[in-house]
Amino acid sequence: MGKEFRGTIADHPDFDAGSDAEALYNAMKGFGSDKEAILDLIASRSNAQRQEIRAAYKSQFGQDLIDDLKYELTGKFERLIVGLMRPPAYHDAKEIKDAIKDSGAGTDEKCLIEILASRTNEQMQNLVAAYKDAYGRDLEEDVIGDTSGHFKKMLVVLLQGTREEDDVVSEDLVEQDAQDLYDAGEAQWGTDEAKFIMLLGNRSVTHLQLVFDEYQKIAEKSIEDSIKSELSGDFETLMLAVVQCIRSKPMFYARRLYKSMKGLGTADNTLIRIMVCRSEIDMLDIRECFRLRYEKSLYNMIQDDTSGDYKRTLLKLCGGDDDIAGEFFPEAAQIAYKMWEISAMTKVQLRGTVRPYQNFDPAGDAQALRKAMKGFGTDEDTIIDIVAHRSNAQRQEIRQTFKSLLGRDLMADLKSELSKNLERLILGLMMTPAEFDAKMMKKAMEGAGTDEHALIEILVTRSNQEIQEMCSAYQDAYKISLEDALASDTSGHFKRILISLAQGAREEDPADMARALEDAQELADACNADSGDMEDKFMSILCTRSFPHLRKVFQEFVRCSNKDIEQIIKKEMSGDVKNAMFAIVRSVKNQPSYFADRLYKAMKGLGTDNRALIRIMVSRSEIDLFNIRKEFKETHDASLHEFIQGDTSGDFRKTLLILCGGED
- pLDDT value at 61 more than 50: yes
- pLDDT value at 104 more than 70: no
CATH of domain 167-247: 1.10.220.10
What percentage of residues in the chain have a pLDDT greater than 70?
95
CA atoms within 13 A on the CB side of 159: 21
* Calpha distance 252→281 (Å, rounded): 14
For residue 203, how many other CB atoms are within 10 A of its CB? 22
- pLDDT value at 137 more than 90: yes
Convert 394-429 into a string of H (helix), E (strand) and C (coil). HHHHHHHHHHHHHCCCHHHHHHHHCCHHHHHHHHHH
* Calpha distance 397→390 (Å, rounded): 10
Computed over every residue of the chain, the mean pLDDT equals 91
What is the model's pLDDT at position 189? 63
- pLDDT value at 399 more than 90: yes
Q: Hey, which of 469-473, 509-513, 521-525, 533-537 has the most confident mean pLDDT?
A: 469-473
What is the model's pLDDT at position 624? 94
Query: Is 377-430 in CATH node 1.10.220.10?
Result: yes
- pLDDT value at 358 more than 70: yes
E-assigned strand segments in 184-236: none
Q: Is-same-fold flag (433-503; 513-589)?
A: yes
What is the model's pLDDT at position 344? 67
Q: Are 257 and 286 in contact (CB under 8 A)?
A: yes
314-326 tens-digit pLDDT: 999 998 876 554 5
CA atoms within 13 A on the CB side of 416: 13
For the ranges 37-41, 46-50, 332-336, 550-554, the lowest mean pLDDT is seen at 332-336
CATH architecture of 513-589: Orthogonal Bundle (1.10)
Q: How is residue 328 annotated by DSSP?
A: P
Average the pLDDT over 485-509 and give the result: 96
For the ranges 65-69, 330-334, 350-354, 550-554, the lowest mean pLDDT is seen at 330-334
Average the pLDDT over 289-311 and give the result: 88
pLDDT category at 335 given cuts 50, 70, 90 is: confident
Q: Who has greater pLDDT, 578 or 607?
A: 578
What is the model's pLDDT at position 106? 74
For the ranges 99-113, 168-182, 347-361, 512-526, the lowest mean pLDDT is seen at 99-113
- pLDDT value at 2 more than 80: no
What is the model's pLDDT at position 241? 95
Average the pLDDT over 404-410 and give the result: 96
Q: How many residues would you count in the chain?
A: 664
- pLDDT value at 103 more than 50: no
What is the model's pLDDT at position 11? 95
What is the model's pLDDT at position 343? 67
Residue ranges per domain, the chain? 167-247, 377-430, 433-503, 513-589
Instruction: Output the furthest CA–CA distance in the chain (Å, rounded).
Output: 96
What is the model's pLDDT at position 325? 46
What is the model's pLDDT at position 165? 87
Provide φ and ψ at 500, rounded to 5°.
-60, -50
What is the model's pLDDT at position 329? 63
Number of H helices, E strands in the chain: 40, 0
Convert 300-336 into a string of H (helix), E (strand) and C (coil). HHHHHHCCHHHHHHHHHHHCCCCCCCCCCCHHHHHHH
pLDDT category at 580 given cuts 50, 70, 90 is: very high
- pLDDT value at 248 more than 50: yes
Q: Are 322 and 300 in contact (CB under 8 A)?
A: no
Q: How far is CA 344 from the centre of its chain?
A: 19
449-463 tens-digit pLDDT: 899 999 999 999 999
pLDDT category at 514 given cuts 50, 70, 90 is: very high
Query: Is 433-503 in CATH node 1.10.220.10?
Result: yes
What is the model's pLDDT at position 187? 65
Spatial CB neighbours of 185, under 8 Å, sequence gap ≥ 6: 191, 192, 196, 226, 227, 229, 230
* Calpha distance 413→180 (Å, rounded): 57
626-637 tens-digit pLDDT: 999 988 988 887
* Calpha distance 22→34 (Å, rounded): 13
CA atoms within 13 A on the CB side of 301: 24
* Calpha distance 309→612 (Å, rounded): 40
pLDDT category at 37 given cuts 50, 70, 90 is: very high
pTM of the prediction?
0.78
Amino acid identity for residue 37 in this structure? A
